[in-house]
Every structure is written in C-alpha cells, then in structure tokens.
A and B are shown apart, each in its own frame.
Chain A
Amino acid sequence: MSGPLILSGKRSSFWPVVVLCLGLALVPLVAVLTKQGHWVSLTTQMMILALAALSLDLILGIGGLLSFGHAAFIGLGAYTTGILIQEGKGDLFIALPMSLVVSGLFAFVTGIIALRTRGVVFIMITLAFGQMAFFAAQALYAYGGDDGLTLDGRSTLFGLKLLSNKIVFYYLTFFCLAGCLLLLQRLSRARFGRVLLGSRDNAVRMETLGYDVFRVRLVAYVLSGMMAGLAGFLLANHTEFVSPAYAAWQRSGDLIFMVIIGGVGSLWGAVGGALTYLLLEEGLSGLTEHWKVIFGPLIIAFVLLTHGGIEGVVTRVRDLLDGGRHD
C-alpha cells in the first residue's frame, strides 16, 4: 500500500510533530528572555491560522474534498464567541462549547447537502455556503453588521480574566493546536482515516467493501468544521474583534494556499503553510501596500512551475530535507 501520499508512515510524521510542538512550547520563554514580547502574539496568530489550515487539511488532504468555504466555520466560531462575550456570557466553558456546537451544526447541515455532490460542484456549493455565512454575519446589524464588532474583552475562566494574559493565552492556543494535531494524527492512522483516504482514492471500491463513504465523509466534515470553529473561538479572543471578513471567501482561498504550500495531507505541514503565509504577508506588505500584486503571481508561479502537481514537488523537497537532516 504505497500511494503518492502515505499519511501514516511513523518516520515521516511523528517526529516532525514532536519537534514542532517542543519548538512552539519554548517560544514564550525565548521571547521573554530576549525581550521580544511581540513574538508571543505573532506566534499565537500563526498557531490559530495553523489550526484552521490543519482542519482544512483533514477534509482536503485526507478526504480529497476541496472545500472553498472553510472560512465560514472560523467566522461562526468567532461570532458565537463574540456575541456571547458581548452578552456577558463569555466564560470559556460557555463560549468554547457553544462555538463548537454552532460550527459543528452548520457543518452537519451543509455537509448533508454538499457531500451529495462531487468534484467541481462540491467546490462551488461549499463556496456558496461560505458566502451564506458571510452574508449572515453582515446581516447581524445589532453586532456591528458590515463593520464588525470590537469586543469588551476576552473570555473569562470562571469569572477570572486569565486569558487576558498573553502567555496564558499562548499556551491555551498551543494546547488546542497540539491536541488537534495529535488527534488528527491518531485518526489518520486509525480505521477512520484509512477509510477516508480510501474514499478519496476510490469511493466506489470503499462502498463495495461495505463502508458507508457518505457517513465517514460527513463525520470528517463535521470534525473539520468544529476544529475551524475552535480556531474562530481563539481568533475572536486573540484579536478581541469579530468581522464578516473572517468568513470571507478570500480567507478560504488563503487557507487552501496554506494547506497546499505546506504539503497536502501532511497535517504538520499545515503549520508550516500558515507560517509561510504569515511571513510572506509580513515581508511583502513591508515592501509595498499593494503586496497582493506580488503575492498573486507568486501563487500562480508556484502552481505553474511545479510540474506534475504541487504535491509531488513538496514531497520531493521534503524527502530531500528529511534526508539531509537525519533525525
């Protein structure tokens, strides 16, 4: 069983995750020691993006389902949290479960419809559902409508303002990301992941083998939506602001870019993708306010120049790096 993308190889995905997690765990320490406090906030943002990209990687990389409306789940999580905070019910143990429930429910309902379709129609229908969430956010006139909503503060923990501390919030984000990474890693190796992967490569065969492909995909879709909802919860707390832009379709495109540049289906690559995206954004926007004029062609060149599909090149480059690093 050796496909172009084997997700369960112990060597290729376990150690990078461990190294990555250890590295991220040390960031606040290093930042405090070197007095570079803004690193903490920047890395937090990166990890939130990474979590969102990771959740997309579950359905895109392992499931082979190109969802173009993934930002909707982030928006739903963020708005649920934002509204609860504004209504004075922003405690972590209310806002977090509610964010997960709302984004999960939206994923369940839209998934039932979207997963009946294949290929191109799936892309379009997820895009359309994403837009629906975007317009719903715009229609929330009482909560800022088009302009978004500045929150009164962050979620509390049993009434304590613990999360307002940068370091505490960093580790909350860190544990969310690490937990999801490990969860997905286990899942992709378990039967669930195998069936999902098999359905990507040959759905008919999996059906014939007696698996309920639709149900497995729906579970993956809901799980992915909830994870993105978690990212939305964190994002609303991190920025203390919610806006329809969180659910905009360009955001979904950015997420796809992160997943692809990090290597589709490699899970930890989503973290690298988010980092690359942020670095590009920071670097290019330092050059010119019109940084997207450079970023757009970069994407195009990336796609065009990597002949034989992006995945191939990324895998090749990664093999090269793995070989050279002898870990």
Chain B
Amino acid sequence: MSLLAIQVLNGLQLGLLMFLVAAGLTLVFGVMDFINLAHGVQYMMGAYLAATFIGWSGHFVIGLGMALIGIMVFGLLLERVMFRHLYTRSHLDQVLATFGLILFLNQGVKMVWGAAPLSVPVPEWFQGSVLLGDGILYPVYRFVIIGSGLLMALVLWLVVEKTRLGMLVRAGASNATMLSALGVDVRKLFMVIFAFGTMLAGFAGAMAAPILSVEPGMGDQVLILAFVVIVIGGIGSIRGAFAGALLVGLIDTLARSYSVDFMRLFVGPAAARGIANGLSSMFIYLLMALVLFLRPDGLFPARGRT
C-alpha cells in the first residue's frame, strides 16, 4: 500500500513533466502541422541552461528564471533561422531537418559541457521530506514538481480556453489557412506558439534537472514518450495531452516498479532490473497500439480537425 502511494506520486510527477513537453509538441503540431523532432533537445537545453545558470547564480529561482528566458530566446532564434522555412515543406523534409538538429545539439552539448552527466542540487528551501503517515517519507522537491506541473497545466488551460490568444490557437488547430484568410497574422501566431512550446519543454527540463542526471541525449527518450502521449491523447488536443501524459506516467512508473518485483521471482536483482526496464518500456507502446487500434484519432481528438 505504502509502496503503491509512492509509485502513484512518482507516476504523477513523471506524467506532469511529460505533459509540459507534450503540450508544446501537440500545439506546434496541431496548429502548424509541423513535426518537430527537436522538441526533445529543447527539453535537454532547458536542463543544461538551468544547470549552468543555477550554478552560476547560486540560486535556484534566479537560475530557473534565467534558464527560461534563455530557452525562449533560443527557441525564437531556431524559429527564425530554421523552422520558419520548414512549415510549408513536406513532413519528410521536416523530419530530416529536425533530425539533423538533434544530432547537432546532442553532440554540441557534449562539446560544451562534456559527456559526463551534470548534477543540479535540490534547492535549499525544498530539501527534506514530508511524512505521509505510516512512516513513509516523500521528498518535498517532488511535490514541488507536481505542484508546478499542475499550475502550468491550469495556466495553459486558462490561456487556451479563456483568452483571445487561446481562441486563435484553437482556431489555428482547426484550420490555419482559414484563420489566415480572416486576417490573422498566422506567422506571428506560429512564432508565439513555438516560443511558448519551447519554453514549456525547457521548463520541464529545468525542473527535472535536480532529480535526473543532465546528460547529452536525455531529450531523446522524452521526445518519443511525448509522441506516444500525443498520439494517445489525440493530436492538437491539450486535454488529450494531459490525459495521455498522466496515463503514460502512471503506467510507466507502476509497470517499472512491479515488473522488477515480478522478475525478481525468477532471476537475480540486477538482471531483474534490466529486464523490467525493457518490459515496462514496452508496456507504453502496447498501450499506444491498443488505443490506436480502438480509436485511431486518440482519446480526445481536437475538435474540427479533419
């Protein structure tokens, strides 16, 4: 029971981080019909910038703020130099070009920061653990991640559902050409969405930095999971991304933990961990296959998409 509670919290935390990455991806994708494989490296850049700025300023919040500004500038730069020219290209071109960007950035961070993982200290304020009854301790910082993830989800929901900008985003997801014909500057809208999506991914990376090792290629796995999330949730749908992310986060964490225990019945602990890692990763993809088989458009397809 106590193990279950901790695993559910861990799953929630992973799910919310995934949501931050997937939300940007699904918007960029839903509105611009643009496949951005480089979304994962933007998450990685967020983590690296946070590691650098937190180390440099010696303060978590200041470092996080600087990292967010940095990643936003980085995103705008990328949009300007590269992505803008890809919106009207075929998916094949988009996939290949952003694949090239991944190769460049993964190797680039290795050159700048070295191949060894960086570690970011958990901020002083959030050190320590909370007692959850039964003598179970849960780290405060992980609650901070859950809380900030939920807060971001709420902000995102308010912006998308209640503001004029959000209305334009939703309209763009349904029919960008029509929106442009109605006199909306779609290019500017694209830029805003792109910068915002990059910032969300960067924020996720920065928040995850203290609990994960910051290393080259850390974004690749996240990217593929985010793809699974938006396919499960339905492309272009924030609601779908939220549901999909929580589902993926919970299933991945629970499957990982229980399949280790299960495999331990048959093999030694090291082998069990290895096998369970592979098995639980496969669970996610099986879930995706199942969802696609039953509902090819995902669980919460965006309204009005053809």
Binding site for B on A (CB under 8 A): 60, 66, 68, 110, 113, 116-117, 119-121, 123-125, 127-129, 131-132, 135-141, 145-146, 249-250, 253, 256-257, 260, 264, 290-293, 295-300, 302-304, 309-310
A-B contact pairs, 29 of them (CB 8 A): A120-B91, A121-B231, A121-B292, A121-B296, A124-B228, A124-B231, A128-B288, A131-B224, A135-B277, A135-B282, A136-B282, A137-B278, A138-B277, A138-B278, A139-B279, A141-B274, A257-B96, A290-B111, A291-B107, A292-B106, A296-B100, A296-B101, A296-B102, A302-B96, A303-B86, A303-B100, A309-B93, A310-B93, A310-B96
Q: Give min CB distance, B116 to chain A, whole Å.
A: 15
Contact B100 A132 (CB under 8 A): no
Bound CA span A129–B231, Å:
13
Q: Give min CB distance, B109 to chain A, whole Å.
A: 10
Q: Which residues of B, 251-306, contact A by the 8 Å Cβ criterion?
A: 267, 271, 274-279, 281-282, 285-286, 288-289, 292-293, 296
Contacts of B293 in A (CB 8 A): 113, 116
The chain B residue with its CB closest to the CB of A137 is: B278
Bound CA span A167–B72, Å:
55
List 12 extra interface pairs beyond A125-B292, A141-B267, CB under 8 A. A120-B33, A123-B91, A124-B231, A139-B282, A141-B275, A290-B110, A293-B111, A302-B96, A303-B97, A303-B100, A309-B89, A310-B92
The chain A residue with its CB closest to the CB of B276 is: A139
Contact B231 A146 (CB under 8 A): no
Chain B, interface size category, equals 35 or more
The chain A residue with its CB closest to the CB of B104 is: A296
Contact B104 A292 (CB under 8 A): yes
Contact A129 B100 (CB under 8 A): no
The chain B residue with its CB closest to the CB of A66 is: B92
Contact B224 A127 (CB under 8 A): yes
Contact B274 A293 (CB under 8 A): no
List 10 tightest A-B contacts by C-beta distance, closest first. Answer: A139-B278, A296-B104, A299-B100, A296-B103, A135-B281, A292-B107, A303-B97, A132-B285, A300-B100, A135-B278
Contacts of B104 in A (CB 8 A): 292-293, 295-297, 300
Contacts of A137 in B (CB 8 A): 278
Chain A-chain B contacts (Cβ-Cβ < 8 Å), number: 148
Contacts of A146 in B (CB 8 A): 274
Q: Give min CB distance, B20 to chain A, whole Å.
A: 19
Q: Give min CB distance, B114 to chain A, whole Å.
A: 12
Given contacts A66-B91, A123-B35, A135-B277, contact A116 B296 (CB under 8 A): yes
Binding site for A on B (CB under 8 A): 29, 33, 35, 82, 85-86, 89-93, 95-97, 99-108, 110-111, 220, 224, 227-228, 230-231, 235, 267, 271, 274-279, 281-282, 285-286, 288-289, 292-293, 296
Contact A296 B227 (CB under 8 A): no
Contacts of A124 in B (CB 8 A): 227-228, 230-231
Q: Give min CB distance, B34 to chain A, whole Å.
A: 10
Contacts of B111 in A (CB 8 A): 290, 293
Contact A297 B271 (CB under 8 A): no
Contacts of B86 in A (CB 8 A): 303-304
The chain B residue with its CB closest to the CB of A261 is: B96
Bound CA span A253–B106, Å:
14
Contact B227 A127 (CB under 8 A): yes
Q: Give min CB distance, B249 to chain A, whole Å.
A: 16
Bound CA span A125–B289, Å:
8
Bound CA span A60–B93, Å:
13
Contact B231 A125 (CB under 8 A): yes
Contacts of A293 in B (CB 8 A): 104, 107-108, 111
Contact A113 B289 (CB under 8 A): yes
Other-chain contact of B100, A68, A291, A297 (Cβ < 8 Å): A297
The chain B residue with its CB closest to the CB of A309 is: B90
Other-chain contact of A125, B95, B279, B288 (Cβ < 8 Å): B288
Bound CA span A236–B304, Å:
49
Contacts of B85 in A (CB 8 A): 304
Contact A66 B95 (CB under 8 A): yes
Contact A113 B99 (CB under 8 A): no
Contact B281 A132 (CB under 8 A): yes
Q: Give min CB distance, A210 to chain B, whole Å.
A: 24
Bound CA span A250–B293, Å:
26
Contacts of B110 in A (CB 8 A): 290
Contacts of B106 in A (CB 8 A): 292
The chain B residue with its CB closest to the CB of A305 is: B85
The chain A residue with its CB closest to the CB of B230 is: A124
Given contacts A128-B228, A139-B279, contact A256 B95 (CB under 8 A): yes
Contacts of B107 in A (CB 8 A): 290-293, 296
Bound CA span A125–B277, Å:
20
Contacts of B105 in A (CB 8 A): 296
Contact B29 A300 (CB under 8 A): no
Contacts of B279 in A (CB 8 A): 135, 139
Bound CA span A107–B281, Å:
19
Q: Give min CB distance, B206 to chain A, whole Å.
A: 24
Bound CA span A66–B102, Å:
18
Contacts of A123 in B (CB 8 A): 35, 91, 95
Q: Give min CB distance, B142 to chain A, whole Å.
A: 25
Contact A295 B103 (CB under 8 A): yes
Contacts of A249 in B (CB 8 A): 220, 224
The chain A residue with its CB closest to the CB of B217 is: A250
Contacts of A298 in B (CB 8 A): 100
Q: Give min CB distance, B63 to chain A, whole Å.
A: 26
The chain A residue with its CB closest to the CB of B106 is: A292
Other-chain contact of B277, A119, A139, A297, A299 (Cβ < 8 Å): A139
Contacts of A135 in B (CB 8 A): 277-279, 281-282
Q: Give min CB distance, A103 to chain B, whole Å.
A: 17
Contacts of A139 in B (CB 8 A): 274-279, 282
